[in-house]
């Protein structure tokens, strides 16, 4: 891995910064708008759609795509720089499910018809996708999926439900796993990876309130939902392979949360400076600990991104990056809460809350970080078997 950025990469970072300065409302700031909590709010969602289309017009949503799909020879690392700057500002417009996960999976497994149908609007920022994986009885043990998709001529009929589906109430399409062959000898076999229009008859969505005050998580119910077999991504009954590749893209190639942590670190340093806390050894040590975590997490993510930019699959590296960075955010949020003291526990809207309740919201959110996209325990198993070649326990 080469350290440092090329002149082109540095120029692109500056271009993105200027673009965000110009396009974001003047009052827009991470300490005011919480991306996780407010992203799907009506006014923010309108900004999300507007910025996504502008990113698309610039070709920024296709930065990691091969030239045959993007139309030009891109530097794939520009894709990660774009993510860094967007998330550092807490800006909308970037959809990880669509751009970071589904698009590269479509490029790898999709038919020409599927690529033509979906990659064009994705690259223009015109559509948004959600992920239909988790179920009431299939979370960490994802292969226990019970949603079914039985053959009906040239179609499949889907019945079942998904849970913890982020943004399902806003999404245009959903990619999901469903069981298409119940006779398979192993539960991770007999699953198919499906592409489903959320306007299809028989789909209903129910929002869930989370402990951070957000409403972006949803339950999705499928009642005799008809979908063409042409909407199977990859081979029928081999959806597990497709899903595992997609999850590799999700786990380690999303540098966004690390950039959010870096921004919060900068906010905390400024807070400590304004409140004469920089000479307090306890505060200094906690700021240093956060900084160490930020820098280490960034380099681990860069390594996974660099491997991916060489058109290789960084399976072990993404699990290492995901495990460290998400656990680091829990540590950092705890340190941030200690720096603010009792004021850090106050929520957004309280007149005594520091930083508009930013740290309280972040602290609560980080408890979910080590669970979704595969818990830390699952990531350690992946590291053991795929990176170290150890036998399965």
- 302 close to 309: Cβ distance less than 8 angstroms: no
Is residue 340 included in any domain, yes or no?
Answer: yes
- Are residues 218 and 286 both part of a single domain? no
- Are residues 218 and 264 both part of a single domain? no
Structural domains in the chain (count): 3
Is residue 168 included in any domain, yes or no?
Answer: yes
Residue 174 banded pLDDT, cuts 50, 70, 90: very high
- Are residues 144 and 263 both part of a single domain? no
Residue 254 banded pLDDT, cuts 50, 70, 90: low
Residue 265 banded pLDDT, cuts 50, 70, 90: very high
Query: Residue 286 has which token pair?
Result: 């906690």
Residue 282 banded pLDDT, cuts 50, 70, 90: very high
pLDDT surpasses 80 at 118: yes
Is residue 123 included in any domain, yes or no?
Answer: no
- Are residues 293 and 318 both part of a single domain? yes
Average pLDDT in the 102-118 region? Answer: 95
- Are residues 214 and 329 both part of a single domain? no
Q: What is the largest CA-CA distance in the chain?
A: 73
Residue 285 banded pLDDT, cuts 50, 70, 90: very high
Which domain-ending residue is among 211, 238, 265?
A: 238
pLDDT surpasses 70 at 30: no
- Are residues 223 and 259 both part of a single domain? no
Q: What integer pLDDT is reported at residue 243 of this predicted model? A: 94
pLDDT surpasses 90 at 262: yes
- 128 close to 202: Cβ distance less than 8 angstroms: no
- Are residues 88 and 145 both part of a single domain? no
Read off the pTM. 0.87
Residue range 298-332, pLDDT digits in tens: 999 888 888 777 767 667 788 888 889 989 999 99
What's the whole-number average pLDDT of the chain?
Answer: 89
pLDDT surpasses 90 at 272: yes
- Are residues 233 and 302 both part of a single domain? no
Average pLDDT in the 9-21 region? Answer: 96
Q: What integer pLDDT is reported at residue 98 of this predicted model? A: 93
DSSP 84: H
CA 209: distance to chain centroid?
19
- 90 close to 29: Cβ distance less than 8 angstroms: yes
DSSP string, 197-224: ETTSTTEEEEEE--TTS---EEEEEEEE
- Are residues 149 and 215 both part of a single domain? yes
Average pLDDT in the 277-294 region? Answer: 96
Q: What integer pLDDT is reported at residue 129 of this predicted model? A: 97
Residue 49 banded pLDDT, cuts 50, 70, 90: very high
Residue range 340-392, pLDDT digits in tens: 999 989 888 888 989 888 899 889 888 887 777 777 888 888 888 888 888 88
Distances (CA, A) of 191 to 188, 195, 347, 359: 7, 13, 43, 41
**In the chain, pLDDT over 90 holds for what percent of residues?**
57
Residues 6+ apart with CB under 8 A from 45: 39, 92, 170
User: Smallest Cα–Cα separation from 45: which of 119, 103, 122, 128?
Assistant: 128
pLDDT surpasses 80 at 171: yes
Name, of 30-44, 153-167, 307-321, 349-363, the range with top average pLDDT: 153-167
Which domain-ending residue is among 94, 115, 143?
A: 94
Average pLDDT in the 7-17 region? Answer: 96
Average pLDDT in the 103-108 region? Answer: 94
pLDDT surpasses 90 at 113: yes
- Are residues 264 and 368 both part of a single domain? yes
Average pLDDT in the 59-70 region? Answer: 89
339/358 Cα distance (integer angstroms): 13
Residue 112 vs residue 356, higher pLDDT = 112
Which domain-ending residue is among 238, 272, 307?
A: 238
Q: What integer pLDDT is reported at residue 69 of this predicted model? A: 86
Please give the residue range of the domain that contains residue 185: 130-238
- 36 close to 215: Cβ distance less than 8 angstroms: no
Residue range 201-253, pLDDT digits in tens: 999 999 998 776 677 899 999 999 999 999 999 999 999 999 988 987 776 56
Is residue 248 included in any domain, yes or no?
Answer: no
Is residue 243 included in any domain, yes or no?
Answer: no
- Are residues 134 and 222 both part of a single domain? yes
User: Smallest Cα–Cα separation from 45: which of 62, 57, 33?
Assistant: 33
What's 280's domain CATH number? 1.20.140.10
Distances (CA, A) of 296 to 60, 223, 289, 293, 302: 27, 46, 11, 5, 10
- Are residues 375 and 335 both part of a single domain? yes
Q: Count the helix, strand and coil residues of the chain and give each as a percent rounded to the nearest 5.
A: 55, 15, 35
Q: What integer pLDDT is reported at residue 185 of this predicted model? A: 85
Residues 6+ apart with CB under 8 A from 184: 190, 237
Is residue 109 included in any domain, yes or no?
Answer: no
250 is catalytic: yes
53/194 Cα distance (integer angstroms): 26
Spot the catalytic one: 37, 85, 131, 250.
Answer: 250
Is residue 110 included in any domain, yes or no?
Answer: no
Residues 6+ apart with CB under 8 A from 289: 331, 332, 335
Is residue 112 included in any domain, yes or no?
Answer: no
Average pLDDT in the 88-107 region? Answer: 90
What's 158's domain CATH number? 2.40.110.10
Q: What integer pLDDT is reported at residue 141 of this predicted model? A: 84
Q: Position of tokens 């409302």?
A: 25
């Amino acid at each position: 891995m080469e350290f440092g950025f090329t002149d082109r990469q540095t120029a692109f970072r500056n271009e993105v910064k200027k673009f965000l300065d110009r396009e974001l409302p003047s009052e827009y700031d991470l300490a005011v708008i919480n991306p996780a909590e407010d992203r799907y709010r009506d006014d923010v969602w309108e900004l999300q759609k507007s910025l996504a289309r502008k990113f698309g017009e610039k070709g920024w949503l296709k930065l990691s795509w091969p030239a045959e799909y993007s139309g030009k020879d891109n530097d794939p690392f520009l894709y990660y720089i774009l993510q860094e700057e967007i998330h550092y500002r807490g800006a909308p417009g970037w959809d990880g499910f669509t751009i970071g996960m589904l698009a590269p999976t479509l490029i790898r497994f999709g038919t020409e018809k599927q690529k033509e149908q979906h990659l064009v609007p994705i690259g223009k920022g015109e559509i948004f996708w959600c992920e239909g994986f988790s179920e009431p009885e299939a979370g960490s043990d994802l292969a226990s999926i019970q949603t079914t998709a039985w053959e009906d001529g040239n179609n499949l009929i889907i019945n079942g439900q998904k849970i913890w589906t982020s943004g399902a109430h806003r999404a245009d399409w959903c990619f999901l796993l469903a069981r298409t062959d119940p006779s398979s000898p192993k539960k991770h076999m007999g699953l198919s990876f499906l592409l489903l229009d959320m306007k299809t008859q028989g789909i209903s969505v129910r929002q869930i309130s989370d402990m951070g005050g957000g409403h972006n998580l949803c339950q999705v119910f499928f009642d005799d939902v008809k979908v063409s077999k042409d909407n199977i991504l990859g081979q029928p009954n081999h959806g597990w392979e497709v899903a595992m590749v997609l999850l590799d893209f999700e786990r380690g190639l999303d540098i966004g949360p690390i950039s959010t942590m870096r921004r919060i670190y900068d906010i905390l340093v400024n807070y400590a400076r304004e409140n004469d806390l920089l000479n307090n050894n306890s505060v200094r040590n906690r700021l240093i600990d956060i900084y160490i975590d930020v820098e280490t997490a960034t380099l681990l993510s860069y390594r996974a991104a660099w491997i991916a930019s060489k058109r290789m699959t960084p399976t072990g590296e993404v699990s290492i990056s995901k495990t460290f960075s998400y656990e680091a955010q829990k540590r950092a949020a705890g340190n941030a809460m200690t720096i603010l003291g009792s004021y850090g526990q106050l929520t957004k809207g309280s007149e005594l809350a520091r930083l508009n309740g930013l740290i309280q919201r972040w602290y609560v959110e980080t408890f979910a970080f080590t669970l979704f996209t595969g818990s830390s325990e699952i990531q350690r198993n992946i590291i053991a078997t795929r990176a170290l070649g150890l036998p399965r326990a």
